[in-house]
Structure 1
Amino acid sequence: MTDQAVGGGHRPPGATENAAPTAPGRRTAEPGRDGLAPHHPSRRAAAGRSATVALGELPAARFAGRERELEALHADIERPGLDTLSGRKGTRSRVLLIAGVPGSGRTALAEELLRRLADDYPDGVVRALLTGPGGAPVPTDETARELLTALGTDAPPGATEDELTELLRGALAGRRALVLLDDAPGGDQVGPLIPDASDSLVVVVSHGPLTGVPDVRPCALGGLECAAAVAILRRYVGPTRIAVDPRTAESVAEECGGRPAALELAGGWLAARPRASLSDLRKALRAIDLPPDLPTGARPLHRAFRLAYEALPPPAARILRLLTLAPAGLVDAHLASALAGCSVAAAGAALRDFATLGLLRAEGAAAGPAPQDDGPAAARTAETASHPRYRLPGCLEAMVRALLQEHERPADVQLARARMLERTVRLLLSCRAMGEPADSAVRQKTAGLPRSLRFASRESAAEWLRGRRAALLDAARIAVADGELDTLDRRLMAALTRTLLVHRGPAAAPDLYVLHGLVLEVAERRGLPHEKAAALLNLADLDGQAGRNTDALTRYRAALAVARSVKDPVATGRALESLGGTYGELGDWQRAADWYGRALELRLTRGESADAARLHGRIGGAHTYAGRWGEALREWRAAAGTYRRLGDLVGQARAAGEVARVQEYAGRPEEALRTCREAVHLARNAGDGRLEAALQLRIADTLERLGDPAAARLHRAVGERLLEDHPQ
């Protein structure tokens, strides 16, 4: 881009908004260091953009013309469907299809349609991208979960595709909403996502027909009309050059095939060269060599892309190629910096340059590490306070990936990916630290991190995590897919797991299910039995929380087998206890007591008395539920005795209280009363006021059943007073 730094000229669309002044004393990056011209228009562009774009706020440079298509789409919304024509009331949402080749402006048209329809659909809009990086279809269950999250509906971890799509249809039922399904590979990905809500509207963007989806209203896109194509060029190069040579402008539009993506690339190239003319642009486009097997329809975009790419300095061209490694296709300055091995500021400037040239699409800014103080230092690092996110347009991705394979060695690609994942781990550690208490050791360790890796507050860290959730999960998948990253994949997943738990708590269960599944995959591939057992146990826990107890039992048994094969006592004990707990959830108290008993044997063998006391209690509880009073009393007394030997007065008091409960169940209220009074004495000596209150209230209940209401009132008064004195 050094040869583009001429100065002056018309600014491309968006280059004049939100211009950020240079901080006092700030030195601009040198072309030799980051490959970017000091006076390139994007250096004067805004450092950040809004994190969320309100419905209908579409960048003007990305839409022009298409009025006939918009009128046709509006007419299709009003036109009766097949159900109405057959005399039945329609139950499914109307589906509009905007079909066209990538780069034809199909997504821009869909967004413009949503903007114009926004007032008619008060429940808002939800969006999903159905094709991932590399052109692979996004699994339907992932798409359904993302849409449910956008609608504020929780979905159980590990739910199947059918369960998730059913939940999605239920969440949209009764709403009047807009659903945008972008870059759909085909009808198989769209059909399960169509809601049973006749008042909602589904807009699908795809390359071709949606086979298998009934009553679809298609709108096929070709090239833009000449006037609209020239309007896009005018936004980039200004009115003067268009007015001077309007015929050549029309010729350039024709060379670009009327494709908005090609026009933006050509316009960005010419905007960076104020002294060049439209004739120079046309000549440059025609000079681009074409592969002999390239289809005719793909030639305009190929020429425009090669024109823009070949004008990049080698460092900037390398950054662009490496962006295809970005998780979930989303990139910001931190990620680009890690991929290219350059500074965050240089990476951010490169991304803004690419967006100005039409090589990237801005996705909006998200919260990121911010300055921690005021003054000149904060001003110098203000650029890193909020980094816009960008996405490589799908119409360019295949060409950029081909360049990556052509120019980058596999070892260099692996190294870039490792740097990216390492940077992600450090950001996750910083994000997690902001969720911990201010005086915690993990929080204090972040003070030693570079300023660009630190967050200003817990809220900014949580917002960063929320905005990058999908990319972080995809980063974990990338780490697992690469078999040569040693322990980096496990470090990444451990950091992501802990960060999700700190900031999201129980709501992180669906994401944790994905991560534990990835850990299981790594463990099985590398032959890591300890990690495999832990992953199976974690997945089983989440299955149990979601009510899938049969699946949980299967995984607990598998974990037990693996743990026993490597003599892992921790995992073995956890699996045994979990099996007991799951059978208890199923109401099979005999098996629950049996598995707890096996866990007890392991604890006694290892001399773990505290755990043994707890397990005596669990066995006693199982026998209590099963109505086996004798066995229950034996186990609860064993628990109380173990707690007594350990000097745990609170544990002893609780166990004694349970002995009293079983005695009362067994029809021995007098014995229960004596035992409960002993438990009260223990709780009082332990200083546990709430436990003593609970025991006093139980004594009151027992006395009422024994026919002594006066004494019962006294004990109840004591218990209620203790509860007031010891609030939770």
Structure 2
Amino acid sequence: MTDQAVDTSGPARAPGTEEPSGVVPPELFGRQRELKALQEDIERAGLNTIAGRKAARARVLLIAGRAGSGRSALAAAFAHALTGTAPAGGSTGPLPWAAPGTGTGDYPDGVLRVSLTDPDGTRVPSERTAREILGLLSLATPPGADADELTEMVREALAVRRLLLLLDDAVDAEQVDPLLPDGPGCLVLATATGPLTGVPDVRPCTIGGLDTGSAVRLLARVVGQVRITVDPRSAETLVEECGGQPAALLLVAGWIAARPTASVADATQHLLRTPQDTEQPVGARPLVRAFRMAHDSLLETPARILRLLALAPGGLADAHTASALAGCSVLAARRTLDDFTGLGLLRTDGAAEPQYEVPGALAPLLRALLEERDRPAEIELARARMLERTVRLLHSCRAVAEPEDSPARGKLAGLPKTLRFAAPEEAAVWLRVRLPSLVAAARMAVADGELDTLARRLVAALVRALAAHLGTEAAAPELYGLHGLVLDVAERRELPRERAAALLNLADLDAGTGRTRTALARYRAALDAGREAKDLYATGRAMESVGGAYAELGDYPRASDWYGRALAQRLAQGDREGEARLYGRLGAVHAYAGRYGEALRNWRAAASGLRRIGDLPAQARALSEAARVQEYAGRPHDSLRTCREAVDLARRAEDVRLQAALQLRLADTLDRLGDPAAAALHRATADRLLGETESTYENLGASVEN
């Protein structure tokens, strides 16, 4: 039995046995000495206190240990002991979690946890970490903000809170130092492989393997006490062969739990027959051997699915991800993932539609095994299938938000049931939950360099889905990064049209957050790319936007010059709506510059163009602006006449709010002309119009409620 491969269509379990169904223990085993040392480290006097100075920054505690030693589990247990807040999924290293505002004691604002290392082993940039922390605090982040600005926002946010910040898997001090809160109200708990040289006043709590008693209790919790009691010597030998490492013990325990008739001695012999990887450091060998034992015990198809999970974006997978990677059904993929969880190879969040996480200690082993056992062409094909499935899900996610009679909803009905969402709310939840892995998929596809067509489709689908469910303003931080990915692909593939579009989108977001000079540089680069692509839309849009940037900077001569260039192109194209808009923009900048004659001519031209296209409300607004210019120019009687024209147009357009605004404009002009009685009549008319509008809205609201 011990040499038989495991078929993950369902590990065998004899009825009536005491074997538990999973390997995740609900408690921390051992580590009492380490917990006590961490508590004492909080209470000891810091260097500032000894020197008689007030603490300038938060206290930092460090848990140092090798991957698989249980450092994240110890950090979670310690956080729970301090705040009463525990991550979902037990203490063995859950999916990313946060529980702000639910703590007790010295840290009533709860616990935040972020990982500082990606599953592929690369360090997470400070910008992404800061955005994640601010997101967990429900604080908006400006799109395109750099790392310095975002980390400053983090420090300001934490300065007024009392919480525990858990920075998991730090690479070095440069990742930790910018995030340290100013003031002693918060506590920072970091985990790392070694010391964080550069962070002052930090003493690492170094951990190794569990003591034998705690390790045996961990095994008993997973495989059942009976199998430990009948052969305690073999249990101790097994612990020794695993080096007391919790990750290795859980893998071997999963192997035993999947075989109700296997003994601990069987597992020990099987582990001993698994070759050691002598190229690995001595301390890493027990985990590598336990992982190889678990993997090699699987049947061929589940073993291949497990290896392919190394391609899961952000280390997070769901049934669709596994299904696409392996080319199997979604149901079969979900069952296999659940079985991997039972074997200790994955962790899950336990939701109705769960996400599965590859433990950080196993991620590099999976990648190495994938490269060793699978051909590059097969890996590339699996990655392409996964990205294609993601694109289809995103199209479905966006389509379900469209009106019922739209073409997109019609196409949605033709998709397989597993790719459809029942309602917009379900799609929005899926998008929110899967967003980190979706963004990671986009980054992975762009970095790959071999799947640029798929990468462009994926980014475009994700942008549309975000806009449909969150709106462009709420999704701006994510959109900024996605447009940057499009720009990377466009520059690598020398695609000027795509480069122009990406630059325009990035510049719009820069302009919206006050980085006008950065936006100006990007608009001009977009103009060059649009000219290279012979894209009239991009060049016209870029010239108009360059003019807008100069106007925002107060450089009205340059603004009018660029608006004039854009206008010339619109006139050549016969774009009447664009012509009217640009005439209005020219009128505005000329008015700001005090060139009232030019301003008036342009506003009159805008009104004339809008009359030709039949937009009465816009024509009324253009005439209102012309009246304002006449008033600035010292021609109140002309202003009064023009404003009355605008009122008549607004009345014909049945735009009550615009009529009221123009009535108030008339009243102000009449006051300046020395006719307060007439001004009072116009103000009364404006009040009546506004009152009628509010009454209409109230009646409409009441009818909707009824």
TM-score, with normalisation over the residues of structure 1?
0.89
Alignment match, 1:349: 335
Alignment match, 2:214: 228
SS at match of 1:183: strand
Q: Say yes or no: does 1:453 pair with 2:419.
A: yes
SS at match of 2:183: coil
SS at match of 2:123: coil
Looking at structure 2, the residues matched to 532 and 264 of structure 1 have their Cα atoms a distance apart, in angstroms, of 49
SS at match of 1:704: helix
Q: 2:185 aligns with which of 199, 205, 209?
A: 199
Task: Output the amino acid matched with 2:428.
Answer: A
Alignment match, 2:149: 163
Instruction: Quote the offset at 1:664 in angstroms.
Output: 1.0
Report if the CA contact (8 A) 1:425-1:491 is conserved. yes
Alignment match, 2:237: 251
Unpaired runs of 5+ residues, structure 1, are 16-41, 43-58, 366-385
Task: Output the amino acid matched with 1:175.
Answer: R
Alignment match, 2:95: none
Distance 1:130 1:443, change over 3 A: same
Q: Say yes or no: does 1:283 pair with 2:252.
A: no
SS at match of 2:362: helix
Deviates more, 1:317-326 or 1:279-288: 279-288
Give runs of aligned pairs for residues 267-282 of structure 1, distance below 5 A: 267-282=253-268
Q: Say yes or no: does 1:361 pair with 2:327.
A: no
Task: Output the amino acid matched with 1:168.
Answer: V
Instruction: Quote the offset at 1:12 in angstroms.
Output: 5.5
Give runs of aligned pairs for residues 300-311 of structure 1, distance below 5 A: 300-311=286-297
Looking at structure 2, the residues matched to 588 and 616 of structure 1 have their Cα atoms a distance apart, in angstroms, of 18
Looking at structure 1, the residues matched to 661 and 362 of structure 2 have their Cα atoms a distance apart, in angstroms, of 68
Alignment match, 1:610: 577
Aligned length: 666
Instruction: Quote the offset at 1:692 in angstroms.
Output: 2.1
Looking at structure 1, the residues matched to 17 and 281 of structure 2 have their Cα atoms a distance apart, in angstroms, of 34
Q: 1:133 aligns with which of 119, 128, 131?
A: 119
Alignment match, 2:14: 7
Looking at structure 1, the residues matched to 581 and 437 of structure 2 have their Cα atoms a distance apart, in angstroms, of 42
Looking at structure 1, the residues matched to 45 and 545 of structure 2 have their Cα atoms a distance apart, in angstroms, of 57
Looking at structure 2, the residues matched to 260 and 188 of structure 1 have their Cα atoms a distance apart, in angstroms, of 29
Looking at structure 1, the residues matched to 281 and 385 of structure 2 have their Cα atoms a distance apart, in angstroms, of 37
SS at match of 1:660: helix
Distance 1:163 1:522, change over 3 A: same
SS at match of 1:274: coil
Report if the CA contact (8 A) 2:19-2:260 is conserved. no
1:189-216 per-position Cα deviation (integer Å, ceiling 9, x unaligned): 1111211131111111110000111111
SS at match of 2:298: coil
TM-score, with normalisation over the residues of structure 2?
0.91
Looking at structure 2, the residues matched to 586 and 486 of structure 1 have their Cα atoms a distance apart, in angstroms, of 37
Looking at structure 1, the residues matched to 19 and 424 of structure 2 have their Cα atoms a distance apart, in angstroms, of 37
Looking at structure 1, the residues matched to 413 and 507 of structure 2 have their Cα atoms a distance apart, in angstroms, of 38
Q: Say yes or no: does 1:717 pair with 2:684.
A: yes
Report if the CA contact (8 A) 1:10-1:271 is conserved. no
Q: 1:679 aligns with which of 630, 639, 646?
A: 646
Alignment match, 1:110: 75
Looking at structure 2, the residues matched to 293 and 678 of structure 1 have their Cα atoms a distance apart, in angstroms, of 87
Instruction: Quote the offset at 1:231 in angstroms.
Output: 0.6
Distance 1:528 1:225, change over 3 A: same
Distance 1:2 1:555, change over 3 A: closer
Instruction: Quote the offset at 1:454 in angstroms.
Output: 2.3
Q: Say yes or no: does 1:123 pair with 2:130.
A: no
Q: 1:579 aligns with which of 542, 546, 552?
A: 546
Give runs of aligned pairs for residues 617-632 of structure 1, distance below 5 A: 617-632=584-599
SS at match of 2:42: helix
Instruction: Quote the offset at 1:14 in angstroms.
Output: 5.2
Looking at structure 2, the residues matched to 327 and 62 of structure 1 have their Cα atoms a distance apart, in angstroms, of 29
Looking at structure 1, the residues matched to 193 and 136 of structure 2 have their Cα atoms a distance apart, in angstroms, of 25
Alignment match, 1:496: 462
Instruction: Quote the offset at 1:644 in angstroms.
Output: 2.9
Q: 2:631 aligns with which of 664, 669, 692?
A: 664
Q: 1:296 aligns with which of 267, 272, 282?
A: 282
| Overall identity of the aligned pairs, in % | 61
Looking at structure 2, the residues matched to 321 and 583 of structure 1 have their Cα atoms a distance apart, in angstroms, of 54
SS at match of 2:167: strand
Report if the CA contact (8 A) 2:29-2:218 is conserved. yes
1:321-358 per-position Cα deviation (integer Å, ceiling 9, x unaligned): 00000111111111111111111111111111111111
1:571-629 per-position Cα deviation (integer Å, ceiling 9, x unaligned): 01110111111112112222211111111101001111221111111100111112211
Unpaired runs of 5+ residues, structure 2, are 1-5, 84-103, 698-706
Alignment match, 1:101: 66
Q: Say yes or no: does 1:698 pair with 2:665.
A: yes
Report if the CA contact (8 A) 2:20-2:223 is conserved. no
Looking at structure 2, the residues matched to 447 and 588 of structure 1 have their Cα atoms a distance apart, in angstroms, of 53
Alignment match, 1:152: 138
1:57-83 per-position Cα deviation (integer Å, ceiling 9, x unaligned): xx5356311111111111111111111
Instruction: Quote the offset at 1:535 in angstroms.
Output: 0.4
Deviates more, 1:205-214 or 1:183-192: 183-192
Distance 1:450 1:197, change over 3 A: farther
Alignment match, 2:158: 172
Task: Output the amino acid matched with 2:515.
Answer: R
Alignment match, 1:655: 622
- Please give the root-mean-square deviation of Cα atoms over the aligned residues, in Å: 1.7
Report if the CA contact (8 A) 1:62-1:108 is conserved. no
